[in-house]
Amino acid sequence: MKTYKNLPVVLILIACALLGCQPTEKSAAPAPPLDADDARSFVEQANAELEAASEYVARAAWLAANFISVDSQFVEARAVKEYTLLSVNYAAEAARFDQLQLDDDTRRQLQRLKQDLSFPAPADVGLAAELAQIGSELQAIYGTGQYCNTERCYSLEDMVRTLATSRDAALMQELWAGWRTVSPPMRAKYARQVEIANAGARQLGYDNLSVMWRSKYDMDADAFAADVDAQWNKVKPLYEALHCHVRDRLSDYYGEDVVPASGKIPAHLLGNMWAQQWGNVYPLVKPEGAEQSYDLTELIVQSGMSEIDMVKVAEAFFTSVGFEPLPETFWQRSLFTKPRDREVVCHASAWDLDNLDDLRIKMCIEKTAEDFQTVHHELGHNFYQRAYKNQPYLYKASANDGFHEALGDTISLSVTPSYLVQLGLLEEEPPLSEDLGYLMNMALEKIAFLPFGLLVDKWRWQVFNGELAPQNYNRGWWDLREKYQGIAAPVARSEADFDPGAKFHIPGNIPYMRYFLAFIQQFQFHQSVCETAGYQGPLHRCSIYNSKEAGARLEDMMALGASRPWQDAMQALTGQRELDASAILAYFEPLKTWLDEQNRGRQCGW
């Protein structure tokens, strides 16, 4: 007969609930009081068990993504479930040491155990099971969602593609509203999920889930919220200038009856289902006469570079700044191109399967400019993963949840014309007159995203702390979208709708602030490493290729992992201890000057 001896507490509770555990006749002796040695032993055990479990999850996930089948997905789901239960158990147990006087390192690792969870379950088998069930149901509703009219049914991918390429305002409005018919059934489930997770957060020592989420950044929760607002206010004038120009151009194209010359922009006309990035409307808003004289996709094709050659070029970027080459297993085990014999998940991703040296990327590379940049970005993750491999498992992560994405994008920002010249893909750098088009494209992707990146979690913070009651979910969502983005729903919305649920990260319970932080930090990182490299010139033209000094600064920061407050990691790289959006203003300064000229006489704002 199997025993429960080595099962985590949560699994024991589940087993007891199902099979019926009988109490022993003798009552157990009172446990001795906990001390600092107990806490250190607990952290050591947690590191060992979670690291072993995470490797199993990573390998199961790799199989599920690269050999898609019912069986591989079953194994992955089982591995994720067991890791989650183990994490929940350790998080709950970590709270036992809250009142002890401990050294900073032990306290930090205990905090990371508790803060690793997004939606913590209470120590109640029934509630934990209900929370897991709701989470599964929400993701199933999203994943199977579609919209059907009298002519055909559209998947989300179909609708996203249409909004990206169509100029038919009526069709785009129909599909925008059609996708949002999927989410209303999520509403009551989401409210109940928040109620249960708030109880879990309180058991971990937080007032509510809002405080817990905002406490992950090595500063007071309210101070963190104030800081991200301060950074947004720095870039808001640039966003308002971009918004003003884009609205004017869209109004000219569609007519003032569709896009008014003042006020908010209808959300369905910005080339994206969520109006979060606007790059697809570039042809309608681009500066005249600012076309690039070269096409990077054509240069890649003409060079004869293969898909694997593109990865080798990206690796050479990192070795040029002083990093060691990737291990041979990277080249043996990664997925670089779409196989002919099976379906795989082609979405680009970077993997660290054993928390040491088994680094890989998974990507169906195409010989395009976009994938050339993406490869550089993904290898940024791999080199970051290897840099902190000697840290304890609980520190094998970036300094905060924005740093990893920011680091990858920092490398991508160095894919500039000067870099292409050094690679031999270009003969000479194009004139500065071409930069406006490039900067406009970048702004439509990076600057347009910032208010959306901020408001998704602002909405959840209000939900979690009770400021926004379930009966006001949708109104609160649109209040924030109108306030921060200056966009408007193209059709009437009410509390019969649940538009937040139309964004994957809401039913998926994935925190979103990391993306806002990453979009700020990447420019702060880029400015700093360019200064370290001795670069002088427009920031958007800088590449740190071949700068060992810049590489050393990067590696010093990356090696810290999550072992120190993110402010320490920021200081190691930039000399600053705070988030600072001013680098964005320096990067986009030529575009801002141009936008201000274009906007003269226009009624900006909303």
H helical segments located in 255-306: 282-285, 296-303
> Is the pLDDT assigned to residue 16 strictly greater than 60?
no
pLDDT of residue 31: 72
- State yes or no: is 142 an active-site residue: no
Alpha-carbon distance of 44 to 109, in angstroms, equals 10
Catalytic-role residue among 76, 93, 405, 555: 405
Residue 228 one-letter amino acid: V
Q: Reduced to 3 states, what is the DSSP secondary structure of residue 34?
A: coil
> Cβ–Cβ contacts within 10 Å for residue 149, how many?
11
- pLDDT for 567 equals 97
Winning range, highest mean pLDDT, from 38-52, 85-99, 280-294: 38-52
pLDDT exceeds cutoff 80 at 10:
no
Q: Which of 331-345, 485-499, 572-586 has the lowest mean pLDDT?
A: 331-345
- The single residue of 90, 393, 515, 535 carrying the catalytic annotation is 515
* Band of pLDDT at residue 27, cut at 50, 70 and 90: low
CA R_g for the chain? 25
DSSP tag of 483: I
Name the active-site residue from 174, 378, 434, 555. Answer: 378
**pLDDT confidence bin for 95, thresholds 50/70/90:** confident
Summarize pLDDT for 179-199 with one digit per residue, the tens.
999 999 999 999 999 999 999
pLDDT digits (tens, 9 = 90+) for 221-241: 999 999 999 999 999 999 999
Report pLDDT for 4: 31
Q: Exactly one of 15, 348, 369, 559 is catalytic; which is it?
A: 348
Q: Given this model, what pLDDT does residue 23 score?
A: 41
Is the pLDDT at 142 greater than 50? The verdict is: yes
Residue 577 has pLDDT above 90, yes or no: yes
20 vs 411, residue with greater confidence: 411
Q: Using an 8 Å Cβ cutoff, are 520 and 454 in contact?
A: no
Average pLDDT value over all residues in the chain: 92
Interval 437-448: pLDDT, tens: 999 999 999 999
Predicted local distance difference test score (pLDDT) of residue 143: 86
Catalytic residue among 347, 427, 428, 496: 347
Residue 380 in this model has a pLDDT that exceeds 80: yes
Q: Is the pLDDT of residue 18 over 60?
A: no
What ranges in 67-124 are assigned the alpha helix state H?
A: 70-94, 104-115
Residues 312 and 488: their CA atoms lie apart, in Å, by 45
163 in Cβ contact with 175 (< 8 Å): yes
Catalytic-labelled residue, pool 377, 404, 526, 540: 377
pLDDT at position 8 over 80: no
Q: What is the mean pLDDT of residues 450-472?
A: 97
> Which tokens in the block code for residue 308?
């694997």
Residue 11's H or E segment, with its range, is helix 9-19
Can you give the pLDDT at residue 32? 82
Does the pLDDT at position 376 exceed 90?
yes
Strands (E), 145-217: 146-148, 153-155
Phi, psi of 154 (to 5 degrees): -115, 130
Q: Would residue 381 show up in a list of annotated catalytic residues for this protein? A: yes
Pairing of strands 487-488, 153-155: unpaired
* Residue 393 C-alpha from the chain's centroid: 21
Q: Compute the distance between CA of residue 420 and CA of residue 293 in angstroms, rounded to an integer.
A: 13
For the record, the structure tokens of 323 come out as 């990093």
The beta-carbon contacts of 465-471 under 8 Å, at least 24 apart in sequence, are 465/207, 465/208, 465/209, 465/210, 465/211, 466/208, 470/187, 470/188, 470/191, 471/495
Average pLDDT on 329-339 reads: 96
Q: Where are the domains of the chain?
A: 9-20+35-116, 131-291+446-511, 296-429+514-598
pLDDT attached to residue 394? 97
- Counting beta carbons within 10 angstroms of the beta carbon of residue 203, is it exposed (0 to 12), middle (13 to 18) or buried (19 or more)? middle
Q: Is 540 a catalytic residue?
A: no
Taking residues 452-469, what's their average pLDDT? 98
Provide the pLDDT for residue 531. Answer: 97
Contacts of 340 (CB under 8 A, 6+ apart): none
> pLDDT band at 2, cuts 50/70/90?
very low
Annotation says 427 is catalytic: no
- Catalytic-labelled residue, pool 381, 404, 526, 540: 381
Q: Give the architecture (CATH level 2) of 131-291+446-511.
A: Orthogonal Bundle (1.10)
The H or E element containing residue 176 is: helix 169-179
Query: In angstroms, rounded to a whole number, what is the distance separating the alpha carbons of residues 553 and 480?
Result: 38
Mean pLDDT of 57-74: 90
In the annotation, is 348 catalytic? yes
| Whether residue 378 lies in the annotated active site | yes
Segment 10-32 shows an average pLDDT of 46
User: pLDDT for 508-557, tens place per residue?
Assistant: 899 999 999 999 999 999 999 999 999 999 999 999 999 999 999 999 99
**Number of continuous H segments (helices) and E segments (strands) in the chain:** 25, 6
**Quick count: other Cβ atoms within 10 Å of Cβ 74?**
12
